[in-house]
Structure 1
Amino acid sequence: MLVQKQPSTLDNALTLLEIISHYSSGISLAEIVKLSRMAKTTVFRILDILKKRQYLSYDVTTEKYFLDVKAFELGVKGLMNISLVGISIPYLKKLATKINETCFLAVYHDGSIIYLYKAEGALSVKTNSHIGSRMPVYCTSLGKSLLAYQPLVEINKVLSRPLVQFTTKTIIDREAIHNSLAKVCIDGYSIDDEEVEEGLTCIATPIFTKQNRVVGAISVAGSSFRIIQKKEIIISELKNISSSISTELRKKN
């Protein structure tokens, strides 16, 4: 009599990751147990390991699990199947062509942003940013748009760390940063005015899910002279695109 081999812990972990990947707005423990057909204790144990290893995050308010940054970092190609990236790419390509500057998509992780996609326009300038790289949130436009909508405890945690001054324009005064984040929530966009690289200005806007949870941000970056000249047009375009991406994300969940 053949004994059916039980799935390994690795098989189970991959199964859970695949299930959660279909729910960009999060999925509860009960739903995961139901879909996986695994014992609740097994599911909880594996989820706890994945959370500690930063492959998953858990929202205590909604009691839902989400894919976290380590799942993204396994490979940018794999990201193409995630709703946020797949939806954003056509918009960013079109914007880069229209504005003739470099456009980025990024997500938040523990005080940093991680670049997920980059579309270059005809006037694109070389930057230190590339897909998969990290940058601090407090001095980048993408980071400010992401940090502004984090819980206050997370903001304070990030700002309690040493803040590097990359240029003479980098803001490292914590009260000033708090004020700038409040302004982001009022204005709906953020600016990096040569805070990371001299001569480079970036403008960004946040992207939200159905629960108004910030899941990413998009930006336009380029020569300060050109970006300031096109500032109002860029802000308008970014706000429209962020709204469109957010709307499409909400429809999928």
Structure 2
Amino acid sequence: MSPTEGDAAPVAVGGLDRAATILDAFDAHHRELTLAALVARSGLPRSTTHRTAERMIRLGWLDKPADRYRIGNRMSEISVLAPARQELREVALPFLHDLYAAVRICVQLGVLDGDRIVVVERISGHRPMPMLSQVGGTVPAHCSGLGRAILAYADPAVVDRVLAAGLSARTSRTIVTENAWRRELAAVPDRGWACDREEGDIGVSCIAAPLFGPAGEVVAALSVTGPSAAVRADRVGPAVRLAAAAASRAYSGRG
């Protein structure tokens, strides 16, 4: 007797949950993982991890060129089809290029996803910045300029969700107390940009400004991120704010 649709559904959902858990094991600092590391970071049993990962390789969701797993090309192909992010990227891209031409430091476009920022686009020229996330990578929202630029205008429930995830210290300079962190958010509207002073990586600073949608809602942020000596607020801040404002007008007036 064949299983009913209701009987089959839990199995399918369980498989998707396991695949999602494995994908979540990867981040900007863990781009390639051995099976042992994948087991440790996913929390799944070794046999389950191996079986699910092998199935994901066949689907193109993972790749394993040697003894380490990494995100597969199929995931990148699928991610760019997400209409909202793709449209946002296409609208913002000319302003990212203008901003990079003005400052000659890495510029990024990011969106909030849970308590993390997903890097949607990045322009860095020929200057190597290996400590920064690549396109599709994520960074914690609480200690990134991109995250603060968005959270300063987000609904209180969204801010509370990020707080509930914890203000973990990435470096000795990360702000980890709620009161100090909220003061940083409160300063963004008057200043016009958010700052991250070596809170994610020592030696790297970020200045970011929000990008708004047609209803005045914050939808993303763009940033200049690079060596702290080069990312000076007095020079970079106004340029970031102007680029974000121009991108917001273009995004709000599309169609």
Q: Same fold (TM over 0.5)?
A: yes
- % identity of equivalent residues: 26
- CA contact 2:115–2:165 (8 Å) conserved in 1: no
1:73–1:201: structure 2 CA closer, same or farther, 3 Å change rule? Answer: farther
1:148 to 140, 152, 168: 152
Describe the SS at the equivalent of 1:202.
Answer: strand
Deviation at 1:130, TM superposition (A): 1.0
Between stretches 174-183 and 118-127, larger displacement belongs to: 118-127
State the alpha-carbon separation in 1 of the partners of residues 161 and 219 from structure 2. 19
Give, as a single letter, the amino acid of the residue that structure 2 aligns with 1:221: T
**Match for residue 213 of structure 1?**
217
Question: Equivalents in 2 of 1:123, 1:80: separation in Å?
Answer: 30
* Local SS of the residue matching 1:85: helix
1:245 pairs with 2:247: yes
Deviation at 1:77, TM superposition (A): 6.1
Deviations 1:27-49 (CA, angstroms, capped at 9, x unpaired): xxxxxxxxxxxxxxxxxxxxxxx
> What is the deviation of 1:126?
2.7
1:121–1:95: structure 2 CA closer, same or farther, 3 Å change rule?
farther
Distance in 2 (alpha carbons) for counterparts of 1:112 and 1:190: 16
AA matched with 2:134:
H
Q: Which residue in 2 is equivalent to 1:168?
A: 172
Q: What is the SS of the residue equivalent to 2:230? A: helix
| Structure 1 residues 72-221: aligned runs within 5 Å | 74-76=78-80, 82-123=86-127, 125-221=129-225
For residues 21-69 of structure 1, give each alpha carbon's deviation from its aligned partner in whole angstroms, at most 9, with x where no partner exists.
xxxxxxxxxxxxxxxxxxxxxxxxxxxxxxxxxxxxxxxxxxxxxxxxx
CA distance in 1 between counterparts of 2:250 and 2:159 reads 28
Relative to structure 1, the CA distance from residue 150 to residue 73 in structure 2 (aligned partners, 3 Å threshold; closer, same or farther) is farther
Corresponding residue SS for 1:227 = coil
Aligned residues of 2:85 and 2:120 also touching (Cα < 8 A) = no
Mapped contact 1:124–1:222 kept (Cα < 8 A): no
TM-score after normalising by structure 1: 0.66
Tell me how far 1:122 sits from its aligned partner: 4.9
State the shift of 1:127 in Å.
2.2
Alpha-carbon distance change, 80 to 117 in structure 1, aligned in 2, over 3 angstroms? farther
TM-score scaled by length of structure 2: 0.66
Matching residue's letter, 1:137:
A
Q: Distance in 1 between matches of 2:124 and 2:86?
A: 21
Give unmatched runs, 5+ long, in structure 1: 1-70
Counterparts in 2 of 1:179 and 1:73: CA distance versus 1, 3 Å? farther
Change over 3 Å in CA distance of 1:106–1:72 after alignment to 2: farther
Q: Distance in 2 between matches of 1:217 and 1:240?
A: 12
The whole-number CA distance in structure 2 between the counterparts of 1:194 and 1:139 is: 9
Whether 2:230 is the aligned partner of 1:222: answer: no
- Shift of residue 83 of structure 1? 2.7
Alpha-carbon RMSD: 2.3
Equivalenced residues, count: 181
